[in-house]
């Protein structure tokens, strides 16, 4: 037996995970071993054929013999071997385009496993090909849930050139009886992006889906669709404030931030959207810190002569309000709040030298001029995300006698 085949056999018999890790270590040296792998694909032991099929997905550069060997492996009698073949074709991607006709055949006539994995592979190899799209659209009506899940996922190509065909299919799958299918469809509509604008009303309906992951993916997708989804702002806002599931609220917060950005004139490009999404999600995660900064800074502007004196005034006169709003109620916790914001505001203000507080040696700590700009940003942020009667918007210090 060839030493490489023997090594594959030993790794395969040891553990399915071990043989994958072993094959990854072959790297460029394995390029000369394609013929050996092809022979191993005829081995009597299924474990060896699985390992060989997996190896062919990791060998770089890809050559025609590897692709043809994998195509032949699509007919293997063992499901585990075929699964490894599909995985390798998925891993290879566009260079495996010669396998597309065979994958379409499997999608139409194979067992459930074959139809599912073939759909996923087609979505990875050449999802914008018209023949591939037609086959996937046809398979969207498959009787098996797993197949429909994979088909929905495969149709989610960014800026899909056949969006006019694909989007109606995904809208139909968004109303599928199976939650996992609805999840996959909701997610793919977001991947398509602005070209999926016709899906905005169905995605808004999906915000009320009984499946929490459908709600989350629908919210995210409304954000990625962009300006055409501006009508979703209110239902997304309601979802962020009322849903019981944290992952849904996080997704809704992201979508609301993106929709807010477009309403304020942000251009529709990925760099701005990504920057806004990061800042908005970070800000929402720091809501308690921002609220604390807001009220301390406001109290300071209204008469506190130092940062410490301002903290103490708040604790003395507003302890009940702080506790009811889950804000810090100890002097020490205030310092932690400001320390944690020091990696946030420089990003918001696009100023790496930004400082909230100055601490001159021997003098009380005071807010800087930079903090005024941060307070104004925070004021706008909180007014978008909090009820108008939140106690931080009222005068905080007691009237002087």
Which pLDDT does position 266 carry in this prediction? 55
Q: Give the mean pLDDT per block of 10 residues along the chain (401 residues).
A: 58 51 53 75 86 81 87 94 93 92 95 95 91 95 95 91 95 96 95 93 97 93 88 91 85 80 59 61 78 87 80 82 78 77 83 83 82 87 74 58 36
What's the pLDDT score for residue 184? Answer: 95
From CA 190, how far away is CA 252, in angstroms rounded? 13
Q: Give residue 200's pLDDT.
A: 97
Q: What is the pLDDT of residue 122?
A: 95
Q: Has domain 1-119 been given CATH number 1.25.10.10?
A: yes
Q: Which residues contact 361 (CB under 8 A, 6 or more apart)?
A: none
Q: How far apart are CA 121 and CA 101, in angstroms?
A: 12
Helix H or strand E segment including 357: strand 357-358
In sequence order, which residues have a C-beta less than 8 Å from that of residue 31 and are 6 or more positions away?
A: 59, 60, 61, 63
Please report the pLDDT score of residue 400 as a whole number: 42
Q: Which residue has the tokens 């790794």?
A: 11
Angle at 382 between CA 372 and CA 331, to 5 degrees: 65
The CB density around residue 145, as the number of other CB atoms within 10 Å, is: 16
Tokens of 42: 């005829």
CATH second-level architecture of 287-393? Orthogonal Bundle (1.10)
Q: Where are the domains of the chain?
A: 1-119, 287-393
Write the DSSP assignment of 252-291 as a string of letters: HHHHHHHHHHHHTT--S-HHHHHHHHHHHHHHHHTHHHHH
**Nearest CA to 112 among 84, 148, 78, 138?**
148
pLDDT of residue 21: 54
pLDDT at 26: 55
DSSP summary character for residue 358: E
């Amino acid at each position: 037996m060839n030493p490489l085949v023997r090594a594959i056999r030993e790794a395969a018999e040891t553990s399915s995970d071990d043989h994958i890790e072993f094959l990854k270590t072959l790297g460029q040296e394995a390029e000369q071993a394609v013929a050996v792998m092809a022979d191993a694909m005829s081995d009597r032991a299924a474990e060896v054929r699985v390992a060989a099929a997996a190896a062919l997905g990791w060998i770089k550069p890809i050559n025609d013999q590897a692709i043809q060997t994998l195509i032949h492996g699509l007919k293997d009698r063992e499901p585990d071997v075929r699964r490894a073949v599909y995985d390798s074709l998925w891993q290879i991607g566009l260079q495996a385009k010669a396998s597309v006709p065979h994958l379409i055949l499997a999608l139409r006539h194979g067992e459930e496993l074959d139809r599912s994995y073939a759909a996923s592979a087609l979505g990875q190899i050449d999802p914008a090909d018209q023949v591939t799209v037609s086959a996937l659209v046809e398979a969207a009506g498959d009787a098996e849930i797993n197949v429909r899940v994979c088909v929905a996922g495969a149709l989610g190509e960014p800026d899909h050139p056949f969006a006019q065909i694909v989007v109606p299919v995904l809208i139909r799958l968004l109303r599928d009886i199976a939650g996992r299918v609805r999840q996959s469809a909701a997610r793919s509509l977001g991947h398509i992006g602005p070209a999926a604008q016709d899906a905005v009303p169905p995605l808004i309906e999906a915000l009320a889906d009984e499946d929490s992951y459908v709600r989350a993916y629908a919210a995210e997708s409304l954000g990625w669709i962009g300006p055409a989804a501006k009508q979703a702002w209110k239902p997304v806002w309601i979802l962020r404030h009322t849903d019981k599931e944290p992952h849904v609220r996080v997704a809704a917060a992201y979508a609301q931030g993106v929709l807010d950005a477009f309403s304020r004139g942000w251009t529709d490009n990925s760099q701005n959207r990504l920057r806004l999404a990061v800042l908005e999600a970070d800000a929402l995660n720091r809501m308690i810190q921002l609220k604390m900064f807001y009220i301390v800074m406001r109290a300071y502007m209204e008469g506190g002569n130092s940062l410490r004196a301002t903290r103490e005034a708040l604790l003395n006169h507003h302890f009940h309000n702080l506790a009811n709003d889950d804000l810090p109620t100890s002097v020490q916790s205030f310092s932690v709040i400001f320390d944690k914001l020091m990696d946030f505001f420089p990003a918001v203000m696009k100023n790496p030298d930004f400082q909230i507080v100055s601490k001159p040696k021997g003098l009380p700590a005071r807010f800087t001029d930079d903090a005024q700009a941060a307070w104004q940003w925070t004021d706008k942020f909180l007014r978008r995300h909090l009820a108008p009667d939140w106690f931080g918007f009222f005068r905080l210090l007691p009237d002087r006698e």
